[in-house]
Structure 1
Amino acid sequence: MRTRPVLVYDGDCAFCTSCVRFVERSIRPRCEITPWQFADLDALGTSQLRAEHELLWITPDGVVDGGAQAVAKLLLSARGAWAVPRALLTLPPFRWIAHGLYRLVADNRERMPGGTPACAMPPGRRSETP
């Protein structure tokens, strides 16, 4: 049984990978970090469809949070000054704003700094909730 949460991201996306490298260096969350392409998604209690759609935070007991709430959980596991943004991401209206911004970035990640055509989500999966 896992004892630490797992952060699952799109390892084929240069923008996502750059963001995860920043998180590892600067935020240093207390979790395992793995690209979905190398994760046992069934064992983690999620699907490829969901992993392609958003960043995932999976607790040791199998609770899966995605998107902006995965970011909030990531910040929750960090130390220090990350408590303020973490708290804001869990409260309305900041939670709603964070969700909208997350979707905007995720749906356009190939256009973000470091993004490549490989980062693009399949057209049929943009802004869909799995």
Structure 2
Amino acid sequence: MRTRSSTDHRVELLFDKDCGFCVWCAGWLERLDRNGRVTATPLQKAGAVDHFGVTMDEALEQAWAIDASGQRFAGAGAINAALSGVLGSRIPLHIYRIPGIRQAQDALYRLVARNRHRLPGRGGSCAIG
């Protein structure tokens, strides 16, 4: 029987360090991630946007994640990928794929993203807004 190592659940998350809410969320994930499986990378870091294969506009529009297999996720999918990394389980991504759940999470993500400059958080001055 094959056992999964913690590297099977490694996830890189691209976030906006100029957004206080995004910084707060990345910090929250870091505190939950006891096994060091999630790496939060600010989109402002040299080469980060290219590494994730997105444009700066795409990076500013929503969060992005890449899992250990190289699969990319955007928006709510990126958050689910990061949670999967923190938990060491793909359950959040499986739940996200359930019809109806994906649409609801995507809609909530868009609402939060549009209003992120109004949400609590420190460590930046969000340019969106």
The TM-score range, normalised by the shorter chain, is: 0.7 to 0.9
Q: Per-residue deviation at 1:59?
A: 3.5
Higher helix share: 1
Q: Is residue 8–residue 35 contact of structure 1 (8 Å, CA) maintained in 2?
A: yes
For 1:11, the aligned partner's letter is: K
Farther-moved stretch of structure 1 (100-109 vs 69-78) = 69-78
**1:34-53 paired onto structure 2 within 5 Å:** 34-40=41-47, 41-53=49-61
Unaligned runs of 5+ in 1: 123-130
1:107 and 2:105 equivalent?
no
Q: Structure 2: state its 5+ residue gaps.
A: 1-6
* Match for residue 38 of structure 2 among 31, 42, 61: 31
Corresponding position: 1:71 with 2:79: yes
Aligned mates of 1:39, 1:103 — CA distance in 2: 26
Alignment of 1:82-97 (within 5 A): 85-97=92-104
TM-score with structure 2 length normalisation?
0.76
Residues 97-125 of structure 1: per-residue CA shift (max 9 Å, x gap)? 00000000001101112279932426xxx
Tell me which of the two structures has the higher relative contact order, counting C-alpha pairs closer than 8 angstroms and 6 or more residues apart: 2
Work out the number of aligned pairs and report it: 119
Alignment root-mean-square deviation, CA? 2.7
